[in-house]
Amino acid sequence: MNLPLVFADQAPLSVTALNEHLREKVSELPTFRVQGEVSRVSGQGGHLYFDLKDAGSKVSVKVWRTTAARLRIQPREGMQVICTGRVEVYVPWGGYSLICSDVEPAGQGALFAALQRLKERLQGEGLFEPARKVALPFLPRTVALVTSPTGAAVRDMVKVLSDRFPVRILVIPAKVQGEGAAESIAQAIETIDALGWADVIIVGRGGGSVEDLWAFNEERAVRAVAQCQTPIVSAVGHEIDTVLTDFAADWRAPTPTAAAERVVPRLVDLQFSLDQLRQRAASVTARLVQAERRHLAQLRARLGDGGGITGRPQMRLADAQARAGRALERQLQGQRRRLEALTRRLQAAHPMRRLAEQRRRWQIAHLRLCQAMEQAQGQRHQWLRRRREVLQALSPTAALGRGYAIVRQRDGRALGRVAEVQVGDSVDVLLADGVLDCLVQTVMPTGLASDQPG
């Protein structure tokens, strides 16, 4: 409404009239993009409320429920953001707020634009096509978790998987945020995929800021997920968080816990389903038997007392009975085979059976190790015995037994040449059974012995 200029002699405006006038004028203002720091974040009924401030002032910001559900980021205390919205005056309080329609990180507009371009390019290559995706296995034996080994997400997934079914769990450590995180995630996926050890892979992490989750938007990680031959689940952040690996994976889980619940069924549910199948098979079999009996009774009633029956109708009756019996037997056998197959699958997955198999393998390995140790020890004994025989054959004491002797000086040095002694020296002569204390009377070098006096 248009208010006239008010002079001193005119009637005063009410407070409500003034605020309504201001609201009307403010509604004519355009949409603003305002940058500042987020503070005093709160929420109620799905709506989001916070203050946007700078060094000199602040403004109240409101994000209605429908808008808050589709925000690209969730404002957090201290975050620098750019809010897009219009100004609205709240008449009862006489204050104004910025009614926000979008929130983006300050300074990251170009980054999000690059992300959108990357998404469009990969989508154009067909990496996100539903035809590329494969179904998750109904009952995987091994689940690989590509995530941080120390985060809360891996603990939650391991607990959920273990509680639901006795499945084998492989934790493949990967860096999930910061420098080099995308390369670490991609290498972990490619390694476990190449080894073929897992029936399904879960890649992800817990919640965080847009910056914390950014590694899952990088092309290296997205291509590794898209090219993975093993069925793969993307489980990044909370339900409202969306990254590019979600589009490339075979299945997108809103949270890591939800991913664990999706990849393996509950054992109690399987047992219940098996009981239901048994009951249905028994019920179907009973109905088939009753139907065949009624048919047989009808045939007998049509036959009457048999007084006017010829051989041909009797043959047809016998043939019909035989066909009915064979059909019933085939159906019974089919139901029995199905029950036996389900029972074998359940027994094969039982923890005690797996434990017994692992114990048998350990016993075989232990027996082989003991046999190998005994064989190696025997070979070592034979080698030592042969070396002992060689040493004994080469020992000087063995030569003494054959009539040789060792001559030593009194200081213990063995004599090898006659030039090492002189006439009058005392020497020891070692024989096989003792030592002779001898005095050198004559020294005869080789070749000169015949010239020396006796």
Cα gap 203→172, rounded to integer Å: 9
Residue 123, both tokens: 């989508």
Judge whether 81 and 50 are in contact, CB under 8 Å.
no
The top-level CATH class assigned to 15-107 is mainly beta
Of 182, 186, 187, 143, residue with least CA distance to 162: 143
Domain boundaries, the chain: 15-107, 112-263, 267-303+322-348, 401-449
Tens place of pLDDT per residue across the chain (454 aa): 455 555 556 678 888 888 888 888 888 888 899 999 898 999 888 899 999 998 889 999 999 999 988 887 788 887 888 899 999 988 888 889 999 999 887 766 556 777 888 899 999 999 999 999 999 999 899 999 999 999 899 999 999 999 998 899 999 999 999 889 999 999 999 999 999 999 999 999 998 877 788 899 999 999 999 999 999 999 998 877 789 999 999 999 999 999 999 999 988 877 887 888 888 888 888 888 888 888 888 887 877 655 555 567 677 777 888 888 888 888 888 888 888 888 887 777 777 777 878 888 889 988 888 898 989 898 999 999 888 888 877 777 777 777 788 888 888 788 888 888 888 888 888 887 888 889 888 888 875 444 444 4
Whole-prediction pTM: 0.46
Top-level class of domain 112-263: alpha beta
